[in-house]
Structure 1
Amino acid sequence: MAQIDLSDIHPVAAAPAAATARAGRLRRLIEAYPPMVVAGIAWIAAMLLVALFADVLAPYDYARMDLRARLAPPYLFGGTPAHLLGTDELGRDVLSRLIFSIRTSLLIAFAATAIAAIVGTLLGFVAAHFRGLVEEAVLMLIDFQASMPFMIIALAVLAFFGNSLTLFICLMGLYGWERYARVARGLAIAAGEQSYAGAIRQLGASPWRVYARHILPNIASTLIVTVTLSFPEIILLESGLSFLGLGVQPPLTSLGNMVGYGREYIERASWILLAPATVIILTTLSISLAGDWLRDRLDPTLR
């Protein structure tokens, strides 16, 4: 039998093939995880860490005033290292207020999104299960909610009942629940017509078990995508109401609250407004990018 002389195979000959394989793997990795999406997810993770460890990261108490250092510029624009992002009109450290504002805004957004998702999903399941008059009543409620300008409703409620953090979160939770109800109703009806749901009912499972243990896990991916798409809207809505003075009230602070106070000093001390506004833009953009990517990954029709 003829033997192959391995010495004739030069190691350089295999290099182009290996390089091509590595380039192909890198290209597939970039296609699966685009750099913008990775950057967005990293930013979201950073904001969550800032919110969780705000007490540790903030160099000062966010309500501490020092009138002798009022309107001090950021460190890179001639300020002191003691206040990296400068101070506001009352001498409060902008970086400390920004850190605690991130915590407050994310708390409101997470709690309001959870309320809207739970209420909307439950009403969607109720409409899908009972049908008939109950379904018509839920659909009428959905249409009523969708037709009313939520900003006007929020302004009226906050102006009439006053404001507290609990009331504000509950009010934000009423925003967008109708989209969850529509999605949950449609998917629950479609899932209920499939064989697995009918088989479970024939085995004597209760409606609660059918919807909670079997239908909900099968439609969870779509609901998760809906959450990622509505989450930045709640952040912007909270920022808008706080900007108008009807959101988070002092001594608490939020991103919209900081923007609202900073607008009066935009010419003399623009850093008061620019810092929270930049965080709002980057956070909503990052969540939108992550939501679009997650939708593409979880929706089988888009693969």
Structure 2
Amino acid sequence: MNRPETDNSMPLAAPTVDGPLECIWPAGANLGEGTLWSEREQALYWIDILTPRLFRHDPATGAQRTWTFGEEITAIAERATEPGLFVTLRRGFALVDTAAPGDAARSRYLHQPEPERTGNRFNDGKCDARGRFWAGSMDFDCKAPTGALYRYDADGRCTKHDDGFEVTNGPTWSADGRTMYFNNTVLGNLYAYDFDMEAGTVSNRRVWHRFHAPDGLPDGMTTDAAGRLWIAHWGGACVTCHDPVSAAELCRIAVPASHVTDCAFGDADLRTLYITTARNGLTPAQQAAEPLAGGLFKVRIDSPGVPASLFAG
């Protein structure tokens, strides 16, 4: 079922893939996620939620760095006014010092919004254009509808905006900032909300696109400069690009891993699509058949993405 957004614009052209897909870091991540391009550092950050680890890749030099955590790290953003990263850990919102020596991460919790939901952990998240971090929680077992959607502000306010999700992923926003997209992965539903940028609120949730087998389930996603949505397919071995009005599929990039988890545009021209994958949930036979599962991939696209928004704190 599709519920296209109301818009008078013409359908967008399909993007062109410029060159082959490459695995640039066969890290064997249990649950690769959280792709974030740092314009400030010209480097790509990503994470392995369940191991848990934070990775940094410098494409200019090929240098790689890994930090280890004592609990799940699930989503990341750069800070606008301070060094280091704003992140979600298992129980909520935190800061990470990436300048500290060694490979053991130094993190500090800022807020844990749902201590009563002991079967939950946080999952995906991103900043909106005003520097507020939106993140979803989820059931550890991916079954109970105990996940919620939160907004965390730089002044320390945390607001719950929706509830009742099994597995949350996203969000991303339309080019005009008036629509926020958010996934309930288990149900295969990509939702759209009306987004009030001034107030930082969402309303009018509706199913914008529904995924069916054998396409897998909607996982992490991003928006390019033209406003097209790029969506990773858990269990679908691909990333697809969609028209922001009709939800029509414009492009499909096959990935040699069943569980494709997230994507983000990077490099100086923002024309490289970085893609994360996972080994979690694969049988031993599938792992043998997919030796690059859990790796970080990249592919060049003929049109750019948009810079990642910074956390305002």
TM-score by length of 2: 0.21
Larger-gyration structure (1/2):
1
Which structure features the higher share of strand residues? 2
Q: Which has the higher helix share?
A: 1
